[in-house]
Structure 1
Amino acid sequence: MIKEKRLSILAESKELKIILAGIVFSFLWASASTATKIGLHSAQPFVISIFRFIIAGSIMLVVSHLIMVKRLPQKKEWIKISIYGLLNITFYLGLYVIAMQKVSAGLGSLAVATNPVFIVLISAVWLSHKINFKNIISLLLCLTGVFLAAYPLLQSSFATPSGILILIVSMVAYSLGTIYYSTQEWNGLHILTINGWQTIIGAVFLLPVLGLTYESDKNTFNADFWFSTTWLAIAVSIGAVQFWLYLLRINPVKAAYWLFLCPIFGFLIAFFVVDEPLTLYTLFGVILVIVGLYISIYSKKLKKQIRRSSI
């Protein structure tokens, strides 16, 4: 009787820990859009990106190589990490920060949550995975939800058509990076090592663009700038990812369901922090995205992709 009670308490404690981790992950992941918007008040997009990536990458590499004493990448692994960094950092986050100049923080968070759908569809083309009716319906629901939520924002200058297009292209870049990562053999290379180096290398690829676009009078390194870059680097690039990895180790399929909370947190954070509007369009748009994600994530074909897309 006592043993069963102890087991029950342990099970409840573990479940509570998982729920807490899921809520914290969703909040941190969703906060990236608003943090980016705050930073854009003080600096150019690529200035924010470079500082974010250097801070996050350096911390991860210090932990990986100096504290955990993990090995360095070898030979062809550098090429793989460079390609991954190009897709996942240079293109995805480079385009994302540009898009955030043109769309609302809430909409940016909503779009990020649609990544699993794009992963399924690109897998069908790249890896010759069979695409089914569920995948098509899921994509249509998610895209409809994004555009529905965007409709009032377009009217009130909180979003532009070009911004939405850039945002979608950035989501495709992320999905390509995720699939590329999942198809490579990493020979036991630690995930912090891969993530740290791909972040640094992705930042290096952005340096020429920064050099061509930099205007000193548009950059003020004030409190807003440092809050934004530090939050994006530590809370999002490191913190949110670590909570995600914890959830994946427990149950990869159930972990993906926490993505459902991201659009909700994203719009709420944007509403309270940067005064972005909440309307019925927002509500119905979020509902459509959540339904689309549920259909997509419930598909067996996505389970393997979710398990692999951990960084």
Structure 2
Amino acid sequence: MGSSTKSLLNFLSGITFVILWASASSATKIGLHSVQPLVLSIPRFILASLLMLVIAHLFMKQPIPHKKSAWKKIAIYGFFNVGLYLGLYVVAMQEVSAGLGALFIAINPVLILLISSIWFRQPLRLATVLSFSLCMVGMLIAAYPLLGGSHASVLGLCLLLLCNVSYSAGAIYFSKQNWEEMHILTINGWQTLFGCLYLLPFAIYFYNSEANTFDVGFLGAVVWLAIPASIIASLLWMSLLRKNPTKASAWLFLCPVAGFTIASIIMKEPLTWYTLAGVVLVIIGLYIVQQMKTPALTPANKN
């Protein structure tokens, strides 16, 4: 395969990753038009976890974890990375626009770096504080014109921030554990299933039959969020990282732009100069983190 062909394939992989990853917020909003937040999440997690576990254990012949310590790690990771993170996220998406949802998720690398410094009692670098400040200001600017209408609320913004903190804590926990050569699909499959189990009692308790319509919008959102926006996007990201981590991280800069663009086209959400200014500040914040050459530039393995 020639170098030009490889470059084209890498470019197509990067563009596809950006579109799929950024589309999750809009897909979530579409699903929420039909059903309650956790009613949307539970089938999504079941489908995604079953697919990953079938691939890992049936086709790839990966061993099922047998040590108690391994199950404990998976359970803790599932709590932060799926149960708390995506549980809060889908509830928050009732209160905010799809574009803002994508923008908030984009700052995960910055939060990971900030929380990691605090967690391990490391001196906070000026670049870290500057990056975080720029991202926060950018998100507030982008959200400002939406707060007066139906596209954003203070509660929704607070929930998005909390869910990002949960994801960052989960990412740090994951990076510090010895997974004993356990395959990533095994880890993700089981931790997603654990996250589903954590949320199931809440979904049952708050279930309201009159608030749920199991239509094409619900089915499409579940399938899209489980497969293209989660599994395929994650596989593309891992492929890009293996080929060139530095170039791969550059694709993250396009995710906030893609998120707002997709939301504008599909959800008819407004785009303003506030949106542009907010996205630019977030991208600058992400660029500062990238220049620090940290491993914190891994996006959420699912949104």
Shared topology, TM-score over 0.5?
yes
Alignment partners' CA distance in 2, 1:189 and 1:251: 23
Tell me if 1:34 matches 2:19. no
1:264 to 257, 260, 265: 257
In structure 2, relative to structure 1, the CA distance for the partners of 1:306 and 1:293 (3 Å cut) is closer
Tell me if 1:230 matches 2:211. no
The 8 Å contact of residues 181 and 309 in structure 1, kept in 2 or not, is answered as no
Instruction: For residue 275 of structure 1, give the secondary structure of its aligned residue in structure 2.
Output: coil
Alignment partners' CA distance in 1, 2:2 and 2:253: 27
Tell me if 1:98 matches 2:91. yes
What letter corresponds to residue 48 of structure 2 in structure 1? A
User: Residues 200-279 of structure 1 correspond to what in structure 2 (within 5 A)?
Assistant: 200-279=193-272
Alignment partners' CA distance in 2, 1:114 and 1:306: 9
- TM superposition shift of 1:131: 2.3
Tell me if 1:110 matches 2:111. no
- TM superposition shift of 1:195: 0.5
Counterpart in the other structure of 2:168: 175
Counterpart in the other structure of 1:305: 296
Unaligned runs of 5+ in 2: none
Alignment partners' CA distance in 2, 1:239 and 1:77: 25
In structure 2, relative to structure 1, the CA distance for the partners of 1:223 and 1:310 (3 Å cut) is closer
- TM superposition shift of 1:307: 6.4
- TM superposition shift of 1:236: 1.2
Instruction: For residue 305 of structure 1, give the secondary structure of its aligned residue in structure 2.
Output: coil
Alignment partners' CA distance in 1, 2:297 and 2:246: 7
Alignment partners' CA distance in 1, 2:186 and 2:205: 30
What letter corresponds to residue 206 of structure 2 in structure 1? T
Counterpart in the other structure of 2:35: 43
- TM superposition shift of 1:16: 1.6
The 8 Å contact of residues 179 and 309 in structure 1, kept in 2 or not, is answered as no
The 8 Å contact of residues 252 and 306 in structure 1, kept in 2 or not, is answered as no
What letter corresponds to residue 33 of structure 1 in structure 2? S
1:60 to 36, 44, 52: 52
Alignment partners' CA distance in 2, 1:267 and 1:310: 20
**Identity among equivalent pairs (%):** 51
The 8 Å contact of residues 32 and 232 in structure 1, kept in 2 or not, is answered as yes
Counterpart in the other structure of 1:148: 141
What letter corresponds to residue 16 of structure 2 in structure 1? V
RMSD of the alignment, in Å?
1.4
- TM superposition shift of 1:270: 0.7
Unaligned runs of 5+ in 1: 1-8
- TM superposition shift of 1:288: 0.4
In structure 2, relative to structure 1, the CA distance for the partners of 1:192 and 1:209 (3 Å cut) is same
In structure 2, relative to structure 1, the CA distance for the partners of 1:309 and 1:50 (3 Å cut) is closer
- TM superposition shift of 1:44: 0.3
The 8 Å contact of residues 40 and 222 in structure 2, kept in 1 or not, is answered as yes
Instruction: For residue 214 of structure 2, give the secondary structure of its aligned residue in structure 1.
Output: coil
Alignment partners' CA distance in 2, 1:60 and 1:67: 10
Tell me if 1:195 matches 2:188. yes
CA deviation vs aligned residue, 1:166-196 (integer Å, no higher than 9, x gap): 0000011010010100000001000000000
Deviates more, 1:252-261 or 1:193-202: 252-261
Alignment partners' CA distance in 2, 1:168 and 1:262: 18
In structure 2, relative to structure 1, the CA distance for the partners of 1:220 and 1:33 (3 Å cut) is same
Alignment partners' CA distance in 2, 1:122 and 1:11: 40
What letter corresponds to residue 184 of structure 2 in structure 1? I
Alignment partners' CA distance in 1, 2:299 and 2:180: 15
Counterpart in the other structure of 2:155: 162
- TM superposition shift of 1:243: 0.6
Count of aligned positions = 301
Instruction: For residue 296 of structure 2, give the secondary structure of its aligned residue in structure 1.
Output: helix
CA deviation vs aligned residue, 1:47-66 (integer Å, no higher than 9, x gap): 10001000000000000000
The 8 Å contact of residues 103 and 164 in structure 1, kept in 2 or not, is answered as yes
What letter corresponds to residue 53 of structure 2 in structure 1? L
What letter corresponds to residue 204 of structure 1 in structure 2? L
